């Protein structure tokens, strides 16, 4: 039974967040929302322990579709980075600000870029494309993410400075247009670079938050050097080009690991 401790722990963490926010904000939505996400992630971890091939995809679809369709399209919450700036500027600690605090700013101190591996609705679609593992080394294009990050900030700040009215409505449409753009650019880049995760590596503005915080992540894949035979399989199957046999936090692309566990599942010596 000990092997099932991680999903139980994960569920307990999310239930703690759910109950705390429910009681402090007086809103039942937080209890339901974080309980649902916690149950989905715990289910994925349980399936992974049971060696289910599609464990990660199950979580991606459960969480990603919930956030994109229910929260985004039905409830009208802009959970993109523009929505985060919007709620931040209005001084509201709700919806996108809570989502960013938990999944993308403070959460990564605990679970690294687990968001990118298990919950992101952009990657949920990109991971269905044919180039699961990149055939070529990473390109030196990561600087683009700072431009998209700055553009999102300038866009929302500009709306506030220009005193544009009906911002809630604009944010809803920004969510739709932003997602269409993300998917279009992500799919074009995946085919151009033959790499499903090219968008994540070079364009996604959220990585400006995710990368520095995940540098300190508690949850990391580590290599047992006594077992490793340096066959290189882990690096070949990694969608993010991470050099996972280097245990230092400064390893090549050290803040890129999305905890997908492809390397762990493929290591012939069970060294990871
Ligand atoms: S890098 Fe961005 S697009 Fe890729 S999975 Fe993470 S949050 Fe989603
Ligand atoms: S796949 Fe396993 S044995 Fe091969 S290099 Fe990676 S950690 Fe070492
Ligand atoms: S294959 Fe391993 S190193 Fe690469 S992203 Fe997945 S878990 Fe991280």
pLDDT given for residue 111 in this prediction: 86
Q: Does 151 score more than 80 pLDDT?
A: yes
Q: Identify whether the C-beta of residue 41 lies closer than 8 Å to the C-beta of residue 118.
A: yes
Q: Identify whether the C-beta of residue 107 lies closer than 8 Å to the C-beta of residue 119.
A: no
* Nearest residue to 183 (alpha-carbon basis) of 3, 117, 191: 191
Pocket of ligand 3 contains residue 63 by CB under 6 Å? no
Mean pLDDT confidence for 119-125: 94
Mean pLDDT confidence for 149-162: 94
pLDDT given for residue 90 in this prediction: 87
DSSP assignment letter at 3 = G
For residue 179, the ligand closest to its alpha carbon is: 1
CA angle 44, 252, 206 (to 5 degrees): 55
Pocket of ligand 2 contains residue 267 by CB under 6 Å? yes
Q: Identify whether the C-beta of residue 242 lies closer than 8 Å to the C-beta of residue 260.
A: no
The upper half-sphere exposure of residue 133, i.e. CA atoms within 13 Å in the direction of its Cβ, equals 13
pLDDT given for residue 183 in this prediction: 96
pLDDT given for residue 92 in this prediction: 78
Q: What is the pLDDT of residues 55-109, one digit of tens each?
A: 999 999 999 999 999 988 988 888 889 989 998 888 877 778 888 888 889 989 9
Fold for the domain defined by 220-272? Alpha-Beta Plaits (3.30.70)
Q: What pLDDT band is residue 120 in, cutting at 50, 70 and 90?
A: very high
pLDDT given for residue 78 in this prediction: 86
Most confident of 48-52, 163-167, 181-185: 181-185
Mean pLDDT confidence for 187-194: 96
| C-alpha of residue 209 to centroid of ligand 3, in Å | 19
Q: Does 165 score more than 90 pLDDT?
A: no
> Angle, to 10 degrees, between the axis of helix 167-193 and the axis of helix 81-89?
150
Two tokens at 162? 């220009």
* Residues near 225 by beta carbon (within 8 Å), at least 6 away in sequence: 245, 247, 271
Q: What is the pLDDT of residues 1-30, one digit of tens each?
A: 777 888 898 899 889 989 998 998 888 988
* Residues near 53 by beta carbon (within 8 Å), at least 6 away in sequence: none
**H/E element, 236:** helix 233-237
Q: What pLDDT band is residue 128 in, cutting at 50, 70 and 90?
A: very high
- 215, with CB counted inside 10 A (0-12, 13-18, 19+), is middle
Q: Where are the domains of the chain?
A: 1-52, 75-214, 220-272
Q: What pLDDT band is residue 154 in, cutting at 50, 70 and 90?
A: very high
Closest atom of ligand 2 to CA, residue 224 = 7
pLDDT given for residue 52 in this prediction: 87
| C-alpha of residue 69 to centroid of ligand 1, in Å | 17
What's the CA gap between 160 and 148, in Å, rounded? 19
Cβ burial 103-112 (10 Å sphere, 16+ → b, else e): bbbebbebbb
pLDDT given for residue 239 in this prediction: 95
Q: What pLDDT band is residue 123 in, cutting at 50, 70 and 90?
A: very high
pLDDT given for residue 93 in this prediction: 73
Q: What is the pLDDT of residues 203-260, one digit of tens each?
A: 999 999 999 999 999 889 999 999 999 999 999 999 999 999 988 888 888 899 999 9
Pocket of ligand 1 contains residue 120 by CB under 6 Å? yes
């Amino acid at each position: 039974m000990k092997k099932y401790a991680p999903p139980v722990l994960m569920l307990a963490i999310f239930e703690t967040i759910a109950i705390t926010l429910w009681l402090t904000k007086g809103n039942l939505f937080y209890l339901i929302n974080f309980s649902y996400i916690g149950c989905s992630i715990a289910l994925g971890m349980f399936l992974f322990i049971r060696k289910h091939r599609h464990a990660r995809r199950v979580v991606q679809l459960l969480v990603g579709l919930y956030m994109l369709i229910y929260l985004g399209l039905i409830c009208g919450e802009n959970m993109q980075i523009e929505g985060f700036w919007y709620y931040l500027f209005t001084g509201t600690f709700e919806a996108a600000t809570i989502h960013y605090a938990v999944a993308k700013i403070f959460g990564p101190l605990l679970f690294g870029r687990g968001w990118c591996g298990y919950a992101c609705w952009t990657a949920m679609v990109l991971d269905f494309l044919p180039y699961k593992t990149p055939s070529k080394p990473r390109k030196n294009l990561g600087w683009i993410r700072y431009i998209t990050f700055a553009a999102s900030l300038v866009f929302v700040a500009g709306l506030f400075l220009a005193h544009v009215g009906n911002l809630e409505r604009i944010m809803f449409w920004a969510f739709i247009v932003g997602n269409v753009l993300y998917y279009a650019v992500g799919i074009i880049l995946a085919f151009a670079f033959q790499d499903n995760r090219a968008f994540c590596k070079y364009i996604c503005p959220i990585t400006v938050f995710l990368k520095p915080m995940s540098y300190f992540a508690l949850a990391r894949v580590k290599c047992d050097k006594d077992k490793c035979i340096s066959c290189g399989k882990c690096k070949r199957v990694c969608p993010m080009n991470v050099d996972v046999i280097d245990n230092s936090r400064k390893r090549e692309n050290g803040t890129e690991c999305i905890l997908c566990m492809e390397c762990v599942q493929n290591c012939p010596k069970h060294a990871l």
